[in-house]
Structure 1
Amino acid sequence: MLYLLDTNVLIDAHYKFYPIDRIPEFWNWLLIYAQQQQVKIPHEIYEEILPGNKEDHLDHWLKDNKAALYLNETIDNISLNKVVNKYASDLNDKELESCGGDLFLIAYALRDTEERIVVTNEVSKPGKKRANRHIPDVCKDLGISHCNTWQLIKRLNFKTSQFSQSL
């Protein structure tokens, strides 16, 4: 399986639950799976996370580990158009911009719905329309598997003990 990470997975992990400087085990664990080609960050998501001039632990970690984390693919326009049409076939420029990297994240997963899973902390909100649709709802419409950070942790069996030495 290849898990494709949404922006909120990394931002929430660092700023809410697993700060890189306090719980490096989580980030080492992610990196191991990235090196094994099981966790990746598409270009458009990578660019969303790295803001212009802000430098913090997350930015440094991303830059230092780009070779392992980065999904080295170009977007397939047919897949991207299918995703856009699930939001609405007539999205205007402002709506497209508000979707951000979500369109691309889902399009990369659409390339292989049997082997790719979108990881996002967005929750389903089926009543949302157009550019306000949430990733889980669009994934469901396209037959793409998705999970959140907690489910990823469980599926890939993250344990801080696997990084600590025996006492």
Structure 2
Amino acid sequence: MTDSVEKASYSVDTSAFLDWQLRYYPADVFFSLLDKIDGLLKEKRIFAPALVKEEIEASGGANLAKWAKSHSGLFVPLDEVLAAAQAVQNRFPGLMDPKAEYEEADAYVIGLAQVRGAVVITGETSVAEKSRPKRSHYIPDVCRELGISCFNFLGLMRREKWRF
């Protein structure tokens, strides 16, 4: 018997990929996690905007960048979510880091979740959990206001009922 939780799809932020492969669940230790992620990929239940790939290439480390390159089908072209991302950014201008030197993926991650009816996966925490927030909104804050489910990578594993 399957339930709707098992069939959720996920729009993933760069920070969640960093949490997975660099911070908490590295592939050399949690090697079976790669199989679980590959399963979501085969079912087309996990995806990210193309800007996430760019962020991974810029700051994700060699192994994660190599993984992202070999899983290019995961990344959705920006034009598919541009209108939704712009609507998010217009409604929540505080989501953008005013000091960012490049376009950030956050609004695209949320917009992609809206377009595809997905859960957002991020390593970010809400503004209320920060002692000195650099901006007025983070991904969890916007998701809460828009009624979009939002979890960290561990939350994805729990939602999928993965056991290791």
Structure 1 pair 87–98 and aligned structure 2 pair: CA distance change class (3 A): farther
Letter in 1 for 2:85: L
Q: How many residues get paired?
A: 154
2:91 alignment partner AA: K
In structure 2, distance between residues paired with 1:58 and 1:146: 22
Greater Cα radius of gyration, structure 1 or 2: 1
Counterpart selection for 1:78 from 72, 77, 83 = 83
| Alpha-carbon contact 1:4-1:39 (below 8 Å) kept | yes
Query: Paired residue for 1:118?
Result: 120
Distance in 2 (CA, whole Å) between partners of 1:10 and 1:134 is 17
Instruction: Tell me how far apart the structure 2 counterparts of residues 109 and 7 of structure 1 sit (CA, whole Å).
Output: 14
Query: What do you get for the CA RMSD once the two structures are aligned?
Result: 2.9
Q: Does the aligned pair in 2 maintain the 1:20–1:58 contact within 8 Å?
A: no
Q: TM-score, normalised by structure 2?
A: 0.78
Unmatched runs of 5 consecutive residues or more in structure 1: 161-167
Deviates more, 1:132-141 or 1:78-87: 78-87
Percentage of identical aligned residues: 25
Aligned match of 1:88: 93
The equivalent position to 2:144 in structure 1, one of 137, 140, 144, is 140
Structure-2 residue corresponding to 1:14: 21
**Paired AA for residue 74 in structure 1:** D
* Distance of aligned partners of 1:104 and 1:96 in 2 relative to their CA distance in 1, 3 Å threshold: farther
Residue of structure 1 aligned with 2:31, choices 24, 35, 39: 24
Amino acid paired to 1:71? V
Equivalent in 46, 51, 56 of residue 39 of structure 1: 46
For structure 2, the residue ranges without an aligned partner over 5 or more in a row are 1-7
